[in-house]
Structure 1
Amino acid sequence: MAPLARPPMTTCQFFGWQYPLYTGKYLAVIVSVLLALKFNLATYFFNLAYVSLLAAAAAEYSGQLLTGQGFVTKYLGAPQSYATCVKESVLPALGDLYATAEKRIIDIVYVADLEKTLKAAGVAYILHKVTAFVSVYALIWTGVVFMFSFPPFYQTYQDEIDAAVAKYSKVVSSAVHEKVACAKTKLGPMIDQLIEKTGPVGAFIQSKFPTRTAGSTVGESPASAHTKADASSSAAASEPATAFTSGAAKFPEVPATELKSTVADVEEKSPVVELP
């Protein structure tokens, strides 16, 4: 029997069961591995393996002694290689899957998209709560069933699901923006008071953070934003920075008397007092 060739397909087509024989084969392998891990079939496999290998070696050796040709080689023939099938179908699929997973993980970890990172944090929190009551093995089973059953369901009701997701995403996004605006409103005066109380330290820290105004670089291209930032930093560097606080005490002024360099100058400029 020739190995099942990998048809040209995408990940959505694979999980959507558009090629049932190909998808079913991988699902059967995954289920077999999970059952083997659950019922500890490894010990039975190795038991069957060493018995079969000893029987094959005995049959081959006895055939060579009796007829000059081993029974295994004579009746089973040359083995069929599946390396080409694995190289052309399994490895490219694993490579594409790894590349996609790596890109998504990097985007999430390095916050390329804030919304995706927040969603990942929410999923991690949910899994943290779920794994406290459900085993990882049960979660793997649930994930396998979900991956191989939800895509066909989604393809059937795609319009309804997309509309519901868009609706509730807007609701959640508006709620998040409202909470952030409320937090800024409440924390803004407290931060300003803290900066005023810390004096020069607060002013220095505040100067390191850009202040968003109506004429700021929001919505501009990165190149123009960097150009304006460089111009403002150079202008700030050319002018001396001065900082003062209302609560700080004024330092005493230095007396405007001329300092004498030597003892001779002191003697020359000091008035001579004659004693009676």
Structure 2
Amino acid sequence: MSAPSVTADHQDVLSLLTWKDPVKTGKVFGGVVAGLLIFKTINLFNIFFHLAYIGLLLSAAAEYAGKLVTGQGFVTKYKPAVKSHAKHFNDEFLPLVAEFNLKAEQEYQKIVFAHDIETTLKAAGVSYVLFKVTSWFSLFTLITTAVVLLFTVPAFYVHNKKQIDALVAQYSQIAREKTSEYSKCAQSKASPYVNDLIKKTGPVGNFISSKFPTRTAGSTVGDSRATSFGTDADASIHAKKVEEEISTATSTGATKFPEVPAASLNAYTKKGLLTGSFNSLQ
């Protein structure tokens, strides 16, 4: 039963923000703006507490005077029938508040204790942007701007949906192409330095490079998933590269370990032959 009501509420809010009923939306928008202006120009808290202390003093004086004259307070005797709204509020709204509070606490712990690093970084970015924005504008200005945007952007999008979607798709494609181009350019410029470093470090560099994933054409162009992160094609490419590095290391003097002197090698060989002969005689 709750899902249809949520959907209906969503549709009502959407129709309100997209001005499907201009009279209804105009009343809500005008009321919100008027309330913000009143809140900005008039100190409502001061007026509330001023009326509160006067009303409470009058209530206490009337109750005291009634008890003094008739034995029963005037407020107690003539008070209207009061209907309690606490039970309705507890039954209808407190379960929703408790559920929201639980979810908010879970999300807070995920963000603060970095259960998901990407989400924590996003929250840090949003906090930094809000820090900058709140240092430039007042809270009232931000709230007013948010209200105006809330009642204008959805309607503008609905009336220009095709054009906006086309522009978003076009610029998203351009951004992907530029990102791929810059990635290729950075890789081509850094590749000679990395290869030179690997050659200078000898077998240590070969060992380290073999532990890093090998980028292929499919991993940088388009949406292909044929990278070296677990696919058979990239595993074979990585194996071929390791074999080439091993063959290069054995054929070139710059990437092989220092050779053992010939005299020590001959002595070691003779010792091994004598030990083998002695073991065979036993």
**TM-score, normalised to structure 1's length?**
0.56
Counterpart for residue 164 of structure 2: 161
Counterpart for residue 142 of structure 2: 139
Q: 1:173/1:197 Cα in 2 relative to 1: closer, same or farther (>3 Å)? A: same
Asked whether 1:219 is paired with 2:209, we answer: no
Distance in 1, matches of 2:9 and 2:172, equals 30
More helix by share: 2
Asked if 2 retains the 8 angstrom alpha-carbon contact of 1:6 and 1:88, the reply is no
Q: Tell me which moved more, 248-257 or 202-211.
A: 248-257
Asked whether 1:201 is paired with 2:204, we answer: yes
Q: 1:132/1:69 Cα in 2 relative to 1: closer, same or farther (>3 Å)? A: closer
Q: Structure 1 residue 75: deviation in Å?
A: 4.1
Q: Deviations over 1:57-100 (max 9, x none)?
A: 3334444554735436734420452764686479759949x77x
Asked whether 1:170 is paired with 2:173, we answer: yes
Distance in 2, matches of 1:55 and 1:138, equals 39
Q: Tell me which moved more, 24-33 or 131-140.
A: 24-33
Distance in 1, matches of 2:65 and 2:32, equals 36
* Percent identity between the two aligned chains: 34
RMSD: 5.3
Q: 1:82/1:215 Cα in 2 relative to 1: closer, same or farther (>3 Å)? A: same
Q: 1:82/1:137 Cα in 2 relative to 1: closer, same or farther (>3 Å)? A: same
Asked whether 1:47 is paired with 2:55, we answer: no
Q: Structure 1 residue 187: deviation in Å?
A: 1.9
Asked whether 1:250 is paired with 2:253, we answer: no
1:77-96 aligned at under 5 Å gives the runs 77-81=81-85, 84=88, 88=92, 92=96, 95=100
Q: Deviations over 1:104-131 (max 9, x none)?
A: x97xx7448xxxx7xx96x888767656
Where relative contact order (Cα < 8 A, 6+ residues apart) is larger, the structure is 1
Asked if 1 retains the 8 angstrom alpha-carbon contact of 2:16 and 2:24, the reply is no
Q: Deviations over 1:178-226 (max 9, x none)?
A: 222222222222222222223333323322222134799x637x9xx65
Aligned residues between the structures:
231
Distance in 2, matches of 1:197 and 1:137, equals 62
Q: Tell me which moved more, 47-56 or 33-42.
A: 33-42
Q: 1:81/1:28 Cα in 2 relative to 1: closer, same or farther (>3 Å)? A: farther
1:4-83 aligned at under 5 Å gives the runs 8-10=8-10, 12-13=14-15, 15-16=17-18, 32=35, 36=39, 41-65=44-68, 66=70, 68=72, 70-71=74-75, 74-81=78-85
Q: Tell me which moved more, 76-85 or 200-209.
A: 76-85
Q: 1:182/1:247 Cα in 2 relative to 1: closer, same or farther (>3 Å)? A: same
Q: Deviations over 1:243-272 (max 9, x none)?
A: 9571677254372447xxxxxxxxxxxxxx
The answer for unaligned runs of 5 or more in structure 2 is: 269-282
Q: 1:227/1:82 Cα in 2 relative to 1: closer, same or farther (>3 Å)? A: same
Q: Deviations over 1:17-71 (max 9, x none)?
A: 5688699769957975796478664344333333333333333444455473543
Counterpart for residue 186 of structure 1: 189
One-letter code of the match for 1:199? G
Asked if 2 retains the 8 angstrom alpha-carbon contact of 1:59 and 1:72, the reply is no
